[in-house]
A and B are shown apart, each in its own frame.
Chain A
Amino acid sequence: MSGLHWRIVGAALVIVLALVYALPSLLPDKGPLLAVLPDKKVNLGLDLKGGINLVLGVDMQTAVHNTLDRMGDELRSEARQEEIIVLSPQVRADGNLHFVLLNEGKEQALDDLIDRYYSGQLQIQAKDTEDNRVLYTVAMTSEYRDKLQQMTIDQVLKVIRNRINQFGVTEPDIRRMQNNRLQVQLPGMEDAKRAVDLIQQTAHLEFQLVDDEADVDKATQGILPPGSELAYLQKRKPDGSYAKQPIVLKKNVLLSGEHITDAQVAFDQFNQPYVALSFDRQGSRIFERVTGENVHKRLAIVLDGKVYSAPTIQEKISGGRASITGQFSMEEAHDLAIVLRAGSLPAPVNILSERSVGASLGQQSIEQGIRSIIVGGILVLLFMLVYYGIGGLITDILLALNIIIILAVLAGFGATLTLPGIAGIILLIGMAVDASVLIYERIREELRKGLSPRKAVDEGFARSTLTIVDANVTTIIAAVILYQFGTGPIRGFAVTLSVGVLASMFTAIFVSKIFFDIWLSRRRPGSSLNL
């Protein structure tokens, strides 16, 4: 009996603690008890709650390409200010920036300029002189490339987080992964298509003048005036799809989306939604000047290379406001306003993997999982009761305690319960009796050898303990490895399995011995052990 009281106190403490943490997840949402209990509930995985899990890859090659492209344009205008003529900067397939210096005599001056403005960023790879012209091949330094990748990922993360927050998903989880990837989890989001559109849209907004003098027919055949480009005007058809109408634009971008401070859905007199934009002060000044200089010309609003509308400028527009009309549906206008407010992505993102589960399937999985736990649990409980009598009853109590401990640990540590996790609990109900079975079979054997019940119980526990610990270590090794290398749902399995195995060892070795000691001490002396 030595220390029995202390062991009872210890076990009781664990049981109470487990109940305190497990109850909030088991009780209905309202009740007087909940006021005193911790408010942590078991966290359900996306496969049970419903929702979307996306793995996004940031297209770094395009990010580097775009940056080099922009640097080329900047370099040209900086050179022009110092009266150096640089021609046709462009990024070629080799990923390097190529341009031509018109006057060989300015070579030193251009090299100095590149060194002054782009030291640490650009590196001259090769120079070929050809009748008074120098052909430059310039590469981005690997340090700057790393820095750019870092900045691009940071920016993408910020923009996507912004968009999702503004869209209003509860408890989204957006995190960075290795290899320029992001993981986005949107619990409870049902419309996967809308979510993907919202996240994937680059949302690069530009205002460009329409080149009305160009011949559209010729342009579609590839004959374009210098400084102009072919684009397509989106015309929404009644069924929601878009017709494309060719339109020729001046290449020069007059104003871009970075000057937008706000974008809101508004309605015109026909109750058609459109997106109203507000510009910052610099943007307002540019917009005022551009509209003032181009009255009666058409101004195209280009989003991600598609022309949404190209209204004629009636008069100079001051006050920094503009609107995008395009016969949007309400949802489209709403999402467009969000992406414009949240800013554009510095690089395209690709969907590398998508897993979306409908809330109805999640609910169905929970119900089926709980039903399996209940039916399987009752069958095992009955079996143990019939097979081991009072010993079986003790095992049954331990089994219930195991499940409560699993739930308490999940809730207390904020771990996530997934469908494979539920399978882990079910599996555990079957496996957890193993420890009891090992002990009981050993006690039965010792009893057959003619040991007294007291001795047989002590021997049985003593001889089985090491075996139980050992046998479970292998399962824990497997579970730890699964946790380390598994994806979300599998991790849930690893968690319930390892927590469950630990709980079952604790209950079978520690708690069950207490029950046996109490049972033995209350037994009439000399009576046999009903096991």
Chain B
Amino acid sequence: MGLRIIKPDTNIDFMGQRGWAVVASVLLLVLGLGAILFQGGLNYGIDFAGGITIQVKFDQDIHITDIKKALQTDNLPEIRVQRLGLEQGNEYLLRISAENAQPEEMRTMVAQSLEGGMQTGFTIQRLEMVGPKVGADLKNKALQALFYAVLFISIYISGRFEQKWMTAGIMAAGLLTGLYVLGLLAVPLVYLILAALTITLGLSWYLQLNYALGAVVALIHDVLITVGILALWGKEFDLTTVAALLTIIGYSLNDTIIIYDRIRENLRSKEAQSLLQTVNQSVNQTLSRTLLTSGTTILVVLCLIILGGGVIHDFALALLIGILVGTYSSIFVAGSLLLGIGPTPDKEPEQEAVQTA
């Protein structure tokens, strides 16, 4: 026989702890959003804010203050220095925000200053410059990506969770009409995204798509907490962060789908049992799958963080946080949400026909 981490008859009272889960989630949300507000918004990387980054690798261990000192010369604009990846990599990222700084000019001047001020050899490994126009474009693209993610996933969820594609059609039609009208009014994309979320939540509520409602709320919960933790950590937001967030959206939904499916299955087949018991039982039944998949995924992402090098480090870190949050939420939050809203009323088609007749 293979190993078992979770015994088959495990019955941990996760839902009994949902008070604590609410406290934990609210705390994380407040901390994260507080950090964002305190910084005066998200800390954008050059993809969105524009500017120049230069990645330098030093031949020997050096101290970050030495680099800063070497770069404090009259002819250079202000340069922010940060370590890239793990300490032993000796890779540093220099960020120049000054407008109109010419990339190749900066490369030459930074190289000269480092040659003069540092004792050890170095290589300029990478230079990226994003002008204000391209930065604005990329920001717009990222917002569009988030917008379409919200749109498609909302439509998919409303159809998928309820097995009622008619209702999903109504949902999609409502969503698209609302957004089309807002689009005509030239509402900025950020508000369009918020509107899409609101319409989705409102329609799910109105059409009593409770599984869909729970899934969307869980999703918003996961993404907001991940963004908050990244902000708290002082990480920059760029295109790769958005890519990580979209991946996390997919991953976290995946978990929610599996748990909700089990809840529905248990509700249909089981003899009278309270909703709380059913949800608890379902979370326990899927617990070993949840932990196994998260475990292997976290394992490989950790490998990427430790071995993958500086360039991919922050991407892997965002994935790690997202997966941890997603795992927590699929055990504690998704079920609790359904307890709060109640499952979608399971009407028999015949009954429906009789009622409308």
Residues of A in contact with B (beta carbons under 8 Å apart): 47, 55, 57, 192-193, 196-197, 350-358, 360-361, 364-365, 368-369, 371-372, 375-377, 379-380, 383-384, 386-389, 391-392, 419-420, 422-423, 426-427, 429-431, 433-434, 437-438, 441, 444-445, 448, 467, 470-479, 481-482, 484-487, 489-490, 493-494, 497, 530-531
Contact = CB atoms under 8 A, between A and B. Distances in A.
B2 A482 contact: no
Given A477-B149, A481-B246, A493-B243, A445 B285 contact: yes
B131 A353 contact: yes
Contacts of B103: 192, 196, 351, 354
B124 A467 contact: no
Nearest to A444: B8
Contacts of B129: 351, 353-355
23 contacts: A192-B127, A350-B131, A352-B131, A357-B125, A361-B57, A368-B307, A372-B308, A376-B304, A379-B299, A383-B296, A384-B296, A388-B2, A430-B300, A438-B258, A441-B289, A467-B261, A470-B257, A471-B254, A473-B156, A474-B254, A475-B254, A482-B247, A490-B239
A420 B315 contact: yes
B293 A434 contact: yes
4 closest A-B pairs (Cβ-Cβ)? A430-B297, A376-B303, A475-B250, A376-B300
A467 B298 contact: no
Nearest to B249: A478
B125 A481 contact: no
Nearest to A359: B125
B153 interface: yes
B297 A431 contact: yes
A427 B319 contact: yes
A430 B319 CA distance: 12
Contacts of B125: 357-358, 360-361, 364
A470 B250 CA distance: 11
B352 interface: no
B254 A361 contact: no
B141 interface: yes
Contacts of A473: 156, 160
Given A467-B261, A471-B258, A481-B149, A356 B247 contact: no
Contact of A380 (B153, B246, B296): B296
Contacts, number: 223
B241 to A, nearest CB: 11
A63 B250 CA distance: 47
Nearest to B54: A356
A472 B254 contact: yes
B293 A431 contact: yes
A482 B253 contact: no
Contact of A478 (B123, B246, B309, B316): B246
A189 to B, nearest CB: 13
A198 B285 CA distance: 64
A326 to B, nearest CB: 21
A192 B102 CA distance: 12
Contacts of B104: 192-193, 196-197
A422 B312 CA distance: 10
Report the contact-size class of chain B (Cβ under 8 Å from the partner): 35 or more
Interface of B: 1-3, 5, 8, 55, 57, 102-104, 107-108, 123-131, 133-134, 138, 141-142, 144-145, 148-149, 152-153, 156, 160, 239-240, 243, 246-247, 249-251, 253-254, 257-258, 261, 285-286, 288-289, 292-293, 295-301, 303-304, 307-309, 311-312, 315-316, 319
Contacts of B57: 361
Contacts of B138: 487
Given A441-B288, A481-B149, A494-B243, 16 more contacts: A47-B311, A351-B131, A355-B129, A361-B125, A365-B312, A369-B308, A389-B1, A391-B2, A420-B315, A431-B293, A434-B293, A473-B160, A477-B153, A489-B240, A490-B243, A493-B243
Contact of A427 (B149, B258, B261, B297): B297
Given A426-B304, A471-B258, A474-B153, A530 B293 contact: no
Contacts of A391: 2
B163 to A, nearest CB: 11
Contact of A474 (B102, B156, B261): B156
B1 to A, nearest CB: 6
Given A361-B125, A392-B2, A441-B289, A474 B249 contact: yes
A355 B312 CA distance: 16
A478 B250 contact: yes
Contacts of B312: 365, 368-369, 419-420, 422-423
A429 B133 contact: no
A473 B144 CA distance: 20
A354 B128 contact: yes
B2 A57 contact: no
Given A352-B133, A361-B311, A368-B307, A490 B299 contact: no
B107 A467 contact: no
A392 B133 CA distance: 51
A453 to B, nearest CB: 13
B300 A474 contact: no
Nearest to B215: A474
Nearest to A367: B309
Contacts of B296: 380, 383-384, 429-431, 433
A142 to B, nearest CB: 23
A497 B1 contact: no
A496 B253 CA distance: 20
A371 B253 CA distance: 30
A501 to B, nearest CB: 9
A486 B145 contact: yes
A297 B125 CA distance: 51
Nearest to A369: B308
Contacts of B311: 47, 361, 365, 419
A345 to B, nearest CB: 18
A170 B300 CA distance: 35
A386 B292 contact: no
B128 A358 contact: no
Contact of A430 (B102, B131, B141, B298): B298
A472 B258 CA distance: 11
B300 A380 contact: yes
A371 B307 contact: yes
A92 to B, nearest CB: 26
A212 to B, nearest CB: 36
Residue from B129, B148, B257, B303 whose CB has the most chain A CB atoms within 10 Å: B303
A361 B304 contact: no
Contacts of A383: 295-296, 299
Contacts of A355: 126-129
B127 A356 contact: yes
Contacts of A481: 145, 148-149, 152, 246
Contacts of A476: 250
Nearest to B108: A193
A484 B289 contact: no
A209 B285 CA distance: 90
A365 B89 CA distance: 12
Contacts of B107: 192-193
A430 B295 CA distance: 8
